[in-house]
């Protein structure tokens, strides 16, 4: 599909829904162009096939003596090991299966040592911005949006330097869900550790696009969601250092998290909790979800992140070139033109209401993008500057207005054919 005969870029990986046709308001049908991978990526066909092959055999995990329960328990634990390997975890790191990135970060917020001072940038997704405010006794410092990666590192350094002694946590995104820009994670981790702080990486938008190695990046924890990593909904991961997880109260109280439970003579109930990963996985685990994540990890590793990223860069180049040719298009960026990006790009078109534009891309061209503030209100407001002054509390579309405070986001990945990108730029140009 590449115009360059010497190009060794791989073909798109087969994903679910690639042959789905949708009706157009102008008449007829067209193949759906899924360009909203940053919200939820279509599952890889390979992941779906793996899950379908296993589904007839699934059984209760850690709770049954039967053959299928044992099989499911083995597959669940093997999936954990696959994820640990995929993330380059240290030998004593714990991989907790959760429901999503949001759940993973809320879990970490729930296990913060008392009085932890948390540092975030205002550029974070709400899932990485908000859980800390609810953590008991935590203090949160929200740093303003930096203009360059260097400024981000320097700002964090200064903030941590000025903070009083005590438990500290930094939470940063690996790649922005709005601009797609890649953050200087290794340098931020070095700054955090220089000041005795821990760091958690919100890798929701990074893991689908780049190899993430927690040992090499030297981050303490990493969080991501299965549904953005070409696996179905309902599963996520928090992986990293065991100490805070081991020492805190269990995230959920219930079966599976306890070693023993007894009624005391005074009528109260006493529980002795596990100190292993089981401590935060109370209730029957989502073995299908864990298995699907592990399958996606294997599929992406085999496809090769270097090759996937090379292809993604080419598609991003096409998208940027196509949009640059359209008068009035402004691509949103924090770090500038030459910043490293994954396949996520947001833009506004002067004189256009972004919600109307996104609706037209869907209705007239069969293209699925997202418009809005992408659960990153402070960041989008910052990027749109004065343009967003009229914005309502949620940036809700203002029908009839030229500009509605929203942006349009195009996002893609391993399953995206070049035609989808070309269709999108042609449609915006029309």
Neighbours of 275 (CB within 10 A): 12
Closer to ligand PMP by Cβ: residue 232 or 366: 232
Per-residue contact string for residues 362-401; x = within reach of ligand PMP by CB under 6 A? -------------x--------------------------
Per-position DSSP letters for 310-351, written without gaps between them: HHHHHHHHHHHHHHHTSTTEEE--SS-TT--B-SEEEEEETT
Q: How far is the CB of 315 from ligand PMP (least distance, A)?
A: 19
Stretch that binds ligand PMP, among 120-128, 160-168, 184-192, 278-286 (CB under 6 A): 120-128
* Alpha-helical runs (H) found in 366-429: 377-384, 418-429
- Say which residues have a Cβ less than 8 Å from residue 267's Cβ, sequence separation at least 6: none
Mark the segment that binds ligand PMP (CB under 6 A) among 73-81, 200-208, 252-260, 310-318: 200-208
CB 208 within 8 Å of CB 218: no
**Rounded distance, CA 52 to CA 339, Å?**
40
Q: Can residue 293 be called a binding residue for ligand PMP (CB under 6 A)?
A: no
Using CB under 6 A, pick the residue from 106, 205, 286, 388 that binds ligand PMP: 205
Tokens representing residue 111 in the block: 């296990």
CB of 122 to ligand PMP, least distance (A): 14
Cα angle: 182, vertex 188, 236; to 5 degrees: 60
Partners of residue 139 on adjacent β-strands: 117
Name the residue nearer to ligand PMP (CB basis): 202 or 425: 202
Within positions 87 to 106, which residues make up the interface with ligand PMP, using CB under 6 A?
100-102
The single residue among 116, 173, 333, 416 that binds ligand PMP, judged by CB under 6 A, is 173
List, in sequence order, every residue forming a beta bridge with 330; answer none if it has no partner: 348
Collapse the DSSP code of 230 into the 3-class scheme (helix H, G, I; strand E, B; otherwise coil) and give the result.
coil
Does 235 bind ligand PMP (CB under 6 A)? Our answer is: no
Q: How many helices (H) and strands (E) does the chain have?
A: 14, 17
Which of the residues 9, 375, 394, 424 is marked catalytic? 375
| Residue 191 parent element (H or E) | helix 185-194
Residue 262 Cβ vs ligand PMP, minimum distance, rounded to whole Å = 36
Which of 118, 127, 140, 391: binder of ligand PMP (CB under 6 A)? 127
* Residue 368: CB minimum distance to ligand PMP, A: 15
375 among known catalytic residues: yes
Residues in the site for ligand PMP, rule: CB under 6 A? Answer: 38, 100-102, 125, 127-128, 173, 177, 202, 204-205, 225, 227, 375
Residues identified as active-site: 375
């Amino acid at each position: 599909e590449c115009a360059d005969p010497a190009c060794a870029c791989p073909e798109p990986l087969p994903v679910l829904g690639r042959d789905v046709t949708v009706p157009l308001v102008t008449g007829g049908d067209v193949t759906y162009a899924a360009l909203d991978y940053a919200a939820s990526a279509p599952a890889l066909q390979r992941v779906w096939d793996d899950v379908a092959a296993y589904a007839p055999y699934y059984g209760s995990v850690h709770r049954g003596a039967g053959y299928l329960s044992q099989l499911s328990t083995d597959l669940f634990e093997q999936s954990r090991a696959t994820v640990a390997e995929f993330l380059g975890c240290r030998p004593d790191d714990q991989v907790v299966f959760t429901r999503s990135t949001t759940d993973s970060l809320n879990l970490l917020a729930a296990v913060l040592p008392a009085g932890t001072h948390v540092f975030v940038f205002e550029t974070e997704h709400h899932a990485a911005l908000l859980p800390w405010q609810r953590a008991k006794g935590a203090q949160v410092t929200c740093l303003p949006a930096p203009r360059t990666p260097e400024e981000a590192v320097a700002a964090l350094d200064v903030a941590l330097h000025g903070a009083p002694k005590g438990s500290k946590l930094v939470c940063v995104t690996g790649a922005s869900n709005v601009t797609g820009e890649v953050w200087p994670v290794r340098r931020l981790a070095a700054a955090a550790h220089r000041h005795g702080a821990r760091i958690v990486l919100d890798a929701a938008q990074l893991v689908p696009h780049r190899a993430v190695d927690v040992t090499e990046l030297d981050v303490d924890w990493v969080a991501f969601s299965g549904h953005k990593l070409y696996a179905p909904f309902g599963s996520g991961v928090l992986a990293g250092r065991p100490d805070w997880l081991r020492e805190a109260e269990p995230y959920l109280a219930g079966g599976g998290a306890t070693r023993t439970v007894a009624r005391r003579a005074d009528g109260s109930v006493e529980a002795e909790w596990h100190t292993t990963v089981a401590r935060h996985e109370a209730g029957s685990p989502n073995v299908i979800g864990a298995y699907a994540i592990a399958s996606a990890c294997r599929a992406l590793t085999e496809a090769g992140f270097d090759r996937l990223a090379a292809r993604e860069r080419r598609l991003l180049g096409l998208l940027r070139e196509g949009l640059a040719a359209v008068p009035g298009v402004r691509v949103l960026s924090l770090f500038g033109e030459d910043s490293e990006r994954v396949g996520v790009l947001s833009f506004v078109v002067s004189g256009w209401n972004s919600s109307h534009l996104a609706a037209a891309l869907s209705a007239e061209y069969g293209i699925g993008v997202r418009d809005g503030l992408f659960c990153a209100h402070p960041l989008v407001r910052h990027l749109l500057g004065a343009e967003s002054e009229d914005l309502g509390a949620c940036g809700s579309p203002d029908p009839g207005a030229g500009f509605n405070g929203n942006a349009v986001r195009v996002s893609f990945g391993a399953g995206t054919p070049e035609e989808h990108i070309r269709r999108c730029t042609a449609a915006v140009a029309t």
